[in-house]
Amino acid sequence: MKKVRVATIWLDGCAGCHMSVLDIDEAILNVARRAEMVYGPLVDAHEFPKQVDVTLVEGGVSSQEDLEKIRTVRQRSRLVVSLGDCAVTGNISAMRNQTPTRKLLERIYVEGADVMRVVPSDGVPALLRHAVPVHEFVKVDLHVPGCPPSAKAIAFVLEELFEGRVPDLRSKVKFG
């Protein structure tokens, strides 16, 4: 049986959604049987691969780097799944949106610092004006709300996608 090529990616999120993926207990056996993990925090691949079947996206799109990543993900993935409230609505990542970006950075790196009171620029991706849900930039095939979504819901989503079905999430997920 040809394995489904699965990737996960972490944009502006707290890692909680990835923790929930890791928490799927014995369902991991079915994932291991049906899927090949081709990219993600636990996979030793530096470049997002081509011809991915399913990509789970954690986090909102908050920086120029996030934007480039999600555009690459969309070009190279058959199905893009927004995983968790940050990816679906902006959620925690969008809490900064009420404050102008420059003011926010100065509050953190200058006013809030005791030493090295300077806004970093070297090697730090530029923030977008607002942190936004993934679907504001690319087409999303499935939204899986939750902060984080339950491991049970994630296992269900993967199993349904592996079988070529669209998961019916009505009784399986909730925001928050």
Q: Which stretch binds ligand SF4 (CB under 6 A): 34-42, 48-56, 80-88, 112-120?
A: 80-88
63 φ/ψ angles, rounded to the nearest 5 degrees: -130, 170
148 binds ligand SF4 (CB under 6 A): yes
Give the separation between CA 4 and CA 53, rounded to whole angstroms. 6
Is 26 exposed, middle or buried, given 0-12, 13-18 or 19+ CB atoms closer than 10 A?
exposed
Q: Measured in whole angstroms, how far is the alpha carbon of residue 170 from the centre of its chain?
A: 21
84 binds ligand SF4 (CB under 6 A): yes
Considering only residues 54, 91, 94, 96, which one is a binding residue for ligand SF4 as defined by CB under 6 A? 91
Q: What is the rounded radius of gyration, in angstroms, for the C-alpha atoms of the chain?
A: 17
Give the separation between CA 76 and CA 47, rounded to whole angstroms. 11
Considering only residues 4, 17, 54, 138, which one is a binding residue for ligand SF4 as defined by CB under 6 A? 17
* Min dist. Cβ of residue 128 to ligand SF4 (A): 17
Nearer to ligand SF4, 17 or 153 (CB): 17
133 binds ligand SF4 (CB under 6 A): no
CB neighbours of residue 39 within 10 Å: 22
Give the separation between CA 154 and CA 144, rounded to whole angstroms. 8
Nearer to ligand SF4, 148 or 167 (CB): 148
Q: Which stretch binds ligand SF4 (CB under 6 A): 9-17, 28-36, 154-162, 164-172?
A: 9-17
Considering only residues 6, 38, 86, 158, which one is a binding residue for ligand SF4 as defined by CB under 6 A? 86
Cβ–Cβ < 8 Å for 76, 6: no
Binding stretches for ligand SF4 (CB under 6 A): 13-14, 16-17, 58-59, 84-86, 91-92, 147-148
